[in-house]
Amino acid sequence: MATTEQIKQLRDLGAATVYEAQGAKGALDNGMKPIDPTVRLAGPALTVDARPADNLILHHAVLKAKPGDVLVVDAKGFMEAGPWGDVLTLQAMKLGIAGLVISGCVRDANLIIELGFPVFCRGLSIKGTGKNQPGKVNVPIFIGDTQINPGDIIVGDRDGLVVVAQDEVQHAIASSLAREEKEAKQRKAIEEGATTAELLNLTETLKRFGLV
């Protein structure tokens, strides 16, 4: 289990840094966007396999979640219903849930933003949902071609979302910190007159293509 401090480190490091540092893997597709680009999110996934246009399993999932969990919902990318809104948001916040990632739509976006609850989704839909299909909780799911297992750490910000496997958290943090240190040195070198072509050893490649 990742510690509270490790989760905070991953959130502060950011999705892009963590993605690159762990070998350019674990990114969710770029259709998944925060409804408020100022939010940052990190926490263990409570995975939900939901049926399109039905939110019965979401009402169940919030009761199963622990404080700090992120609900990660495979709603099959369905765009013509909003199975999550302000009422579920209020309950989730009351229970200490850290945020929502849903491959589908939500509604009541303005209220969710005002409440400060991090939500990443494919879009917005005012259309309602049924409450008839059971779905599943805490099972492996896919969002796009990325698998998310229960307990994997989800990291999200305006750049996107990345998944860190439970047993790779410490390595992801160490690699991310090393990457941050390297990039800090690059920024300093640029301020002192270096170019990105020099720093990334691209001069010969540029010459080969006749660009220098």
pLDDT at 1 over 90: no
What ranges do the domains of the chain cover?
4-166, 173-208
Instruction: Report pLDDT digits (tens) over 23-63.
Output: 999 999 999 999 999 999 999 999 999 999 999 999 999 99
Please state the pTM of the whole predicted model: 0.95
CATH 2.20.25.90, domain 4-166, yes or no? no
Q: How far apart are CA 100 and CA 21, in angstroms?
A: 24
Tokens of residue 203, six digits: 């001069």
CB 1 within 8 A of CB 70: no
Residues in CB range of 20: below 8 A, 6 or more apart = 179
pLDDT digits (tens, 9 = 90+) for 184-210: 999 999 999 999 999 999 999 999 999
Q: How far apart are CA 12 and CA 7, in angstroms?
A: 9
In which band, very low, low, confident or very high, does the pLDDT at 212 lie, cut at 50, 70 and 90? confident
Closest to 161 in 3D by CA, of 69, 33, 3, 52: 33
Q: For 145-190, what is each residue's pLDDT tens digit?
A: 999 999 999 999 999 999 999 999 999 999 999 999 999 999 999 9
The DSSP secondary structure of 91-131, one letter per residue, reads HHHHTT--EEEEEEEE--HHHHHHHT--EEESEE-----BS
